[in-house]
Structure formats: C-alpha cells, structure tokens
Amino acid sequence: MSAIFTQLNSIGWRDIIDILVVSYILFRLYVLFRGTYVFRVIAGIGFLWVFQRLAAYLGLIVTSWAMQGIIAFAAIIIIIVFRNEIKNVLQAKDVGAIFWGVSHKAFLTPEEIITSSVYALARKKIGALMVLPAKDDFQEVIQGGIPWQGILSKEMILSVFWPDNPAHDGAAIISGKRIGEVGAILPLSRRSDLPSSYGTRHRAALGLSEKTDALVIIVSEETGRVMIAKHGEITEIRDNLALQKSLREHGGRTADDQGARREENLKLGFAAFILIICVTGIWFSFSRGLETLASLEVPIEYQNRDPGMELLGSSLNAVKVHLSGAGPLMRSITTDQVKVRISLGKAAVGLNTFTLTQDNISLPPGVTLKKVEPQVVDVTLDIPIKKELPVQIDWIGKLADHLILESATLEPDIVSVIGGSRVLEKINTIYTEKISLDSINKTGRLSVNLALNPASLKVVEASNGKVVIVFTVKKREAGDE
C-alpha cells in the first residue's frame, strides 16, 4: 500500500497532463463514435490489443504475432469500411463539436419514433393500428400476425401501414425497439355504447385494451385523428407531446428530458472516469514498471560553433549512454530520442576538453541517465587559412621492365589549398590520387584527382581538384633490362 502512495507522490505535473491529454483524446473518440459500428470495432481492436499484450507477456509468440497482424489489418479496415461514418463525424460537425461538444441525444427514443410516425400517418390520413404491450401476454387474444422483427423506424412504420402493403390492414405489435408482428387481427369490442363514428379499427383497439393492459394507438383513416385505447377506454390525443407522454407513462418511464439528460451525463462521466483509470494504469505500467537498464551508442552533436572556426576533429564521434527506466519505455527507446550535445560557444582555437554532464544529454520523459562513457571529449577547433602547396604524383604498381618513366611533370604543380591552420601547418605537399603504372606503356598525359587528406581540405583552383600529368616513357637500352 505504501508503495502505491510512494508512486502516486512521484507523479509530477507533466505526468498528470500526460494522463489527462490521452484520456481526453480517448473520451472524445468515445463521444464522437459512441453508438456507431466504428466504436464497436474500435472497442474490439482494443480488446485484441490487450489480448496481444497478454500473449506477448506469456511468451505466445505465434499468437502475439497473429494478433499484431489482425490489429494492423483491422485498423486499415476501419478506415476503408467506415470511411463514411468517419467522414460524417469529422465533416458534418463543427470544430467545437469535434473537440469539446457533447451531443446529448444521439438517437431518437422509440416513443419519439412512434409519435413522429403516428402524426406523419395522420397527416396523410393513412389508417394505422399499433399495439404496445405491457405486462400481459396477449398472444392468445390476437390472431394472424405476420412475424416482422424489424428495427423500429419512422420509415418502417410508414411502409407497414402504406395502403398498398398487404399487411397494412392489421395491427403492428411494437415491443421495445422492434416491430414484432404486423397484420395482427385484434379482438373486437362488443360494447354497444360506442359512437357511430368509430369503425372496426377503433373497436379492435378497444377490444384488445379491454382484455389486456396493452396500449393501442389508432390513426383514423377518415379523419386523421389520433386516439389511444387503454384499459377499455379510448382517448383522443391532440398533439404529439401528449402522445409521447402517454407512451412514456405506459412504458413506466415517467422521467422527463432533464432526467434523461442527467442519466446521459452520468453515463459520460462514468466513461470519462473509466478512461482516466485505464490511462493511468497504462501510464504506470509504462513509466513505473520494473526498472530496466539499457545502453545506447549516441552520436555527439556540436552546436553554437563560431562560424569563423572549423571543427577539425574530436577524440570521440559517439558516446555510450547508460540509461534506466521502465521496461516498455526502454524497449522502445532509440538513439534518435537521446541527444548528446556539446556547446562550442566558448571554445577556442586548438584543443578544447569537455566533460559530459547531465546538462549535455537530453532524454525522453521517464528515462534517467546512469552513466556516460567516456565522459571527457577533446575537440579541436581551427581557423581556416589558404596555403600554396606543391603537388607530387603518387605512382603505384609496376612499370614494364623494358620501360623507363623518364620524366613526369604536373600542370599545375602548385595548388592553393584552404584548410585549418593547424592542419596546413603540418602539410608540405599535396599528393595526387594513386596512379597505376601497370597500364602505362608510352608517353602521354593523364588528368587525375588530388588526394586531400584530411577531407576537410579544399582546393581553391577551378579545375575541380584535378591536375594533369605529362609523362615521358622511353625504352631501356639493350643490356639494361
């Protein structure tokens, strides 16, 4: 327990921001995609990822590998298959909706769908009979229902009661979010005190309401009036709000919009809480796992060099950095994430010795420096100067025994070279690249490159660092060979 508190105490403000940012991104994805198939697939991929990590932890190599492949493939599939849904989320809504807006009512409730359908039918004067069962079983009372099992929608209801539909004459049984049956024949009421304006549809509705606790909605074909029948009573409904209220009361849902909103906010809050817990857990597993040591060979970067100076050389090109941190962090760390920098702002011409400290090394968050090897770096800086140097040919190979290379001259035989003063101080001759004698058998000329060592040297001449060798070859006198 104390270990947990110790770890919690070690969380800095950066870590809190880290957790909150990731949690918020995930929460936004949840808000934007909840209720869609994309969300379900993403949740599925999340589950696969957890499974893959578990397989990797247990050493199930093939399973882990297969899971990785499926996850990668699924990510592509999401983008391709659900491109329209993703486009709708990203395009149809404004920027505010993407980053902080919350759509409280993503989908219509069954009551709203039914209400809007009923009044659409009423306006068109299309007769309709809809049964919303309560607790009583009425299967023995109704007859001839055609199984439908269609998801409730306004279009579906309108098509069921469309006059040309063979099943439009009976009643539609609506249970929850589905239309269970259509074309159901309801028992007729035998009451004799009903107004003459009531037709068969009204009698059927009343008949069922007398025998069960179901609510029946009637849309009159002649007048377009909407009525409901319940507990053997027929009531005319004047507007859609009244119908919605009746439907809610029938379904036992007396809560108003505010209550629903509260419930939704609670749901969102719970989702946010769960996400923060999950991200915190992942963060702890990444940053506060078992300490792992790693060594990296990191190249040294030099900065703030005086433009008038030249970096002539250093005792080291790279240093070995010993790091420690959580296992997952250390496994994913690369040399690109670790920087070893030496500022040459105060360096002078000649040899400069730098001792590497923590200030010279930048590390990713959660990783600590254990040791740097070697700690001391010698850097030599120089001022570039120009010097005229004679050129000499660097012959190699073997000339044929019967030949003598009598003379060889260079054009030019002196070149101007720019380089560090300390380097040029020690150089008295510039040599050509190695010229092979093996193929030389007669007098001629060759255009050759200069071998500039160190490579930082530059030839001033416009001949692109080339010189021409003019050489004379003669045959040995008899007896000399």
Partner 1 sequence: MHTLIRLLKPHEIVAGCLLCLILTAVSLEAPAQENNGNQKHLAITQAVMCEEIKEYEPHNQAAVFSIAAGKVYCFTSFNPVPRDMFVYHSWYRRDRLITTRRLSLKTPEWSVFSKIQLRQADKGPWRVEVKDHNGGVIKIIKFSITD
Alpha-carbon span 255 to 414, nearest angstrom: 100
Task: Please name the residues in contact with 10: beta carbons below 8 A apart, sequence gap of 6 or more.
Answer: 288
Question: Least separation, in Å, of the C-beta of 394 and partner 1?
Answer: 5
Nearer to partner 1, 149 or 429 (CB): 429
Nearer to partner 1, 300 or 410 (CB): 410
Question: Least separation, in Å, of the C-beta of 436 and partner 1?
Answer: 9
Question: Least separation, in Å, of the C-beta of 368 and partner 1?
Answer: 50
User: 48 with 68: CB under 8 angstroms?
Assistant: no
Question: Least separation, in Å, of the C-beta of 440 and partner 1?
Answer: 9
Nearer to partner 1, 157 or 393 (CB): 393
Nearer to partner 1, 50 or 396 (CB): 396
Nearer to partner 1, 217 or 430 (CB): 430
Nearer to partner 1, 233 or 438 (CB): 438
Alpha-carbon span 147 to 129, nearest angstrom: 16
Give the other-Cβ count within 10 Å of 392's Cβ. Answer: 14
Binding site for partner 1 (CB under 8 A): 390, 392-399, 404-408, 427-429, 431, 437, 471, 476, 480
Question: Least separation, in Å, of the C-beta of 407 and partner 1?
Answer: 5
Question: Least separation, in Å, of the C-beta of 480 and partner 1?
Answer: 6
Q: Exposed, middle or buried: residue 131 (CB in 10 Å: 0-12, 13-18, 19+)?
A: buried
Question: Least separation, in Å, of the C-beta of 467 and partner 1?
Answer: 13
Nearer to partner 1, 316 or 451 (CB): 451
